[in-house]
Amino acid sequence: MSLELVKEIFQNLPNCKNWSTHLLSFKHSIRNGSIYNCRRIELEPSSEMDKLIQSISDLYVGEDKHRLSKYIDVREYDGTCSGTTIYKISESSSKVEIDLDALFKGIADSDTESDPLEMRLQAYILCGCIKINNEEHRLKLISMNNPITTLNNRFRHNKGKFWAISKKVLHLRTIMNVLIYDRTVYFLDMSGETLFNMERAYKLKCSEVVNEIDTMNIVSDIEVFKNTATAGANPRRFAAFSKSKLQLLKKKKNREKAAKYFNIPLTDDKEQFNTTEKVDAENLVKLLCGKAMWDIMEEVPVEVDGSKSWTR
């Protein structure tokens, strides 16, 4: 999705009149996976929903300085955290797996009876359909903050005096953190990572890749490589892991090329990467996860935050 299409979505929000609102709580566990519980709510008068949607649209694409103006690109989620990038997770090309169906099920099974003021909420969701290029698309906007709050230092006027507001109130923020367009997820900032337990997702990918490298027998000390790859910031880097690069490293000539250009030493017989030193194991991780590039002008290896396809 291009930035132009993101802009078109926010511009067209007011054209959708059939919105539903859901308060959301969620929990992630190893045993049960991700569980999402929703409470559907209604706003009165109904015109308040139109006002909310219009406010969100104005915030992101209004005539004055709008929030979309800070973004410069849209790219596949790769574990980096650039404030000027919208990260997407698509079913067809994502390198990490998320349980999108669990979220959709939670929304479909929304409760309408429980007391929303007693729920431990973490977000709210706006669900609707939007028409782009004469085609209907399902849309979900998610704000990653507890929508139930207590107003501190806020007072109501009654009989000539101001009285503290002590009751909990519903506060629907206009700042959105996650956009779901059909089955593609877009993070407008990194707070959306908690919604899908991204930390667990890229740690699973890291573990999977380490096990595959073990079977390939291309590193001299698998324990050092494993301990390095699964520690610190390295698991997050595996969100951008390149399967094709690893497949290329099956060939000895490609391992020699990588060793030459990125200063990753080989064993004496040139068959394996020498990973007895942590720094060399980490450089191999960077190579496999899109953090190592070759500067063709100065002919030196460089470390980058992330990469995307070159366009003219």
pLDDT at residue 312 tops 70: no
Quote the longest CA-to-CA distance of the chain.
90
Cα–Cα distance measured from residue 72 to residue 77, given in angstroms and rounded to the nearest whole number: 15
Question: Would you state the pLDDT for residue 91?
Answer: 75
The closest of 119, 133, 109 to 23, measured between CA atoms, is 119
Cα–Cα distance measured from residue 130 to residue 15, given in angstroms and rounded to the nearest whole number: 8
Query: Quick one: pLDDT band at residue 165, thresholds 50, 70, 90?
Result: confident
Cα–Cα distance measured from residue 237 to residue 202, given in angstroms and rounded to the nearest whole number: 8
Q: pLDDT above 70 covers what percent of the chain?
A: 93
pLDDT digits (tens, 9 = 90+) for 89-115: 987 766 788 899 999 999 999 999 999
Please give the structure tokens belonging to residue 116.
């929303």
Please give the structure tokens belonging to residue 179.
């956009």
Question: With 0-12 CB in 10 A as exposed, 13-18 as middle and 19+ as buried, what is 185?
Answer: buried
Yes or no: say if 207 and 30 are a contact pair by the CB < 8 Å rule.
no
For 167, the 3-state DSSP assignment is coil
Question: Would you state the pLDDT for residue 299?
Answer: 60
Query: Quick one: pLDDT band at residue 302, thresholds 50, 70, 90?
Result: low
Cα–Cα distance measured from residue 125 to residue 128, given in angstroms and rounded to the nearest whole number: 10
Yes or no: say if 84 and 67 are a contact pair by the CB < 8 Å rule.
no
Cα–Cα distance measured from residue 255 to residue 217, given in angstroms and rounded to the nearest whole number: 12
200-237 burial by CB neighbour count: b if 16+ within 10 A, else e?
bbbbebbeebbeebeeeebbbbbebbbebbeeeebbbb
Question: Would you state the pLDDT for residue 291?
Answer: 79
Yes or no: say if 88 and 74 are a contact pair by the CB < 8 Å rule.
yes
Question: Would you state the pLDDT for residue 78?
Answer: 87
pLDDT digits (tens, 9 = 90+) for 15-41: 998 999 999 999 999 888 999 999 999
Cα–Cα distance measured from residue 88 to residue 45, given in angstroms and rounded to the nearest whole number: 35
Cα–Cα distance measured from residue 282 to residue 227, given in angstroms and rounded to the nearest whole number: 10
Question: In residues, how long is the chain?
Answer: 312
Average pLDDT, the chain: 91
